[in-house]
Structures are given as structure tokens and as C-alpha cells.
A and B are shown apart, each in its own frame.
Chain A
Amino acid sequence: GAGVSQSPSNKVTEKGKDVELRCDPISGHTALYWYRQSLGQGLEFLIYFQGNSAPDKSGLPSDRFSAERTGGSVSTLTIQRTQQEDSAVYLCASSKGGNYGYTFGSGTRLTVV
């Protein structure tokens, strides 16, 4: 596609429910990143994919968070048993790798009530 697409753009969920956030990277971009953006915390790294493997998942805050990428393309970030502190904007970015910069999606705003 022309850009990085994320869905849904907004998600309101009840505490304790599971949510899935989707990222569709730019075609041909081998690297994919998930970040969390919250007020006062800036952008927190969550996980990085190179192809379908995740060489760096050091930023996942707890075992309630998981992510996968299939076919070297679409990625899904899953948050189980959501908590109020999970409320944030979840950003996805993709890159050709190497010295190329990231292209960010518009994010999913998650609100846990």
C-alpha cells in the first residue's frame, strides 16, 4: 500500500477483555516495529520484526502482550486481560531496513474503561 495502515483507529474496551491491533506495513518493507505513545512517556518501544521473526521483543511490558507477523507482511499486537494502564496510542512503523528511516502509521488509540 501507499502507507502504513493500522486498524482500528480507535478502540474502547472493558478492563479484562482481550484486544487485537492490526498493522499493514508498506509493501516490501522487511522491518516492522510497534511502539506505544502515551502522555508524558513519549514513544516506548515494544517489539521489532525482521521478516516474520522478532529479534527484539524486549519492550513488551508483560506476558499479557504478544505480537506476531505472518507472510513478512501484516502484524497483529494482542493484549490479553487489558488493564487501564494499557490505555495509549499504539503505533506501528515499517522500514526497508538498513539506513532507511521508519514510516509510521496513524496509530490505534486504545482506551480501557
Chain B
Amino acid sequence: AQRVTQPEKLLSVFKGAPVELKCNYSYSGSPELFWYVQYSRQRLQLLLRHISRESIKGFTADLNKGETSFHLKKPFAQEEDSAMYYCALRRGSNYKLTFGKGTLLTVNP
């Protein structure tokens, strides 16, 4: 069975500092990895996915199959990045997403 672990429930950084939200997964096959974000009083929304290899709002994430990780990074955090971040894994198309328990990021002024 697949599992997603986000070791930090809470992460607090200052504006302008680098930020890294950790995500580790366990799955024997080749998974699809995603990051979802939920801003205060808003719906959960897709931030980025590994197959797109894109940068959204300055965030990037690289899939490291050797370390089974998909950490989310941003070089200079902004206050508007404060939100709950969820890492998620999918075995393949047309399968469910399995989510981690989330990390609440607070960016202080």
C-alpha cells in the first residue's frame, strides 16, 4: 500500500527566508506526486505535480526516487505563502490520491 509522510505539522519562517516542506513516500512502483495547497478559508487546490516539472508561485519540487522524496522548496518565502500544504501520491491515472497529513506553513513578516 502507498503512504505519504509529511514529518512537520508546523513550519514557521520569516519573509525572505528559504523554505522547504518535506514529503516522503512509500510505494514500490512509479508514482505520480503532487502538492496541494489550502489557503485560509479557500478550497484545496493543486499547486504542482512532478510530471509537469513546473514552477508555480516560485515553488518547485523534484522527485527523488532514490530517497523516495518530493520536497517542496521556495528560495524566498512571502507572507502570502502562509497556508496548509499537502503532499499526495497516486499509483497512476484513474487511481485515488493518497494524501499526507499536511504541513501548516506560517511566513512571518
The chain A residues found within 8 Å of chain B, CB to CB, are 31, 33, 35, 40-43, 45, 48, 50, 56, 59, 91, 93, 97-99, 101-102, 104-107
The chain B residues found within 8 Å of chain A, CB to CB, are 9, 32, 34, 43-46, 49, 51, 86, 93-102
Of A40, A98, A101, which one neighbours B49 at CB under 8 angstroms?
Answer: A101
Please give 15 more A-B residue pairs, beta carbons under 8 A apart, in addition to A45-B98, A104-B43, A104-B45: A31-B94, A35-B99, A41-B101, A42-B99, A43-B86, A43-B99, A45-B97, A45-B99, A50-B94, A56-B96, A59-B96, A91-B44, A101-B46, A104-B44, A106-B43
- Give the docked Cα–Cα distance between A91 and B93 (Å): 20
Measured between beta carbons, the chain B residues less than 8 angstroms from A56 are: 95-96
Interchain residue pairs with CB less than 8 A apart (23): A33-B96, A33-B97, A35-B99, A40-B9, A41-B101, A42-B99, A42-B101, A43-B86, A43-B99, A45-B97, A48-B96, A59-B96, A91-B44, A98-B93, A98-B94, A99-B32, A99-B51, A101-B46, A102-B97, A104-B43, A104-B44, A104-B45, A106-B43
Measured between beta carbons, the chain A residues less than 8 angstroms from B101 are: 40-42
Closest to B101 in A: A42
A-B pairs under 8 A by CB, number: 45
- Give the docked Cα–Cα distance between A107 and B38 (Å): 12
Measured between beta carbons, the chain A residues less than 8 angstroms from B32 are: 99
- Give the docked Cα–Cα distance between A99 and B91 (Å): 11
Question: Distance (Å) between the CB of B67 and the closest chain A CB?
Answer: 22
Closest to A41 in B: B101
- B43 near A105 (CB under 8 angstroms)? yes
Question: Distance (Å) between the CB of B27 and the closest chain A CB?
Answer: 15
- A45 near B96 (CB under 8 angstroms)? yes
Measured between beta carbons, the chain B residues less than 8 angstroms from A42 are: 86, 99-102
Question: Distance (Å) between the CB of A16 and the closest chain B CB?
Answer: 30
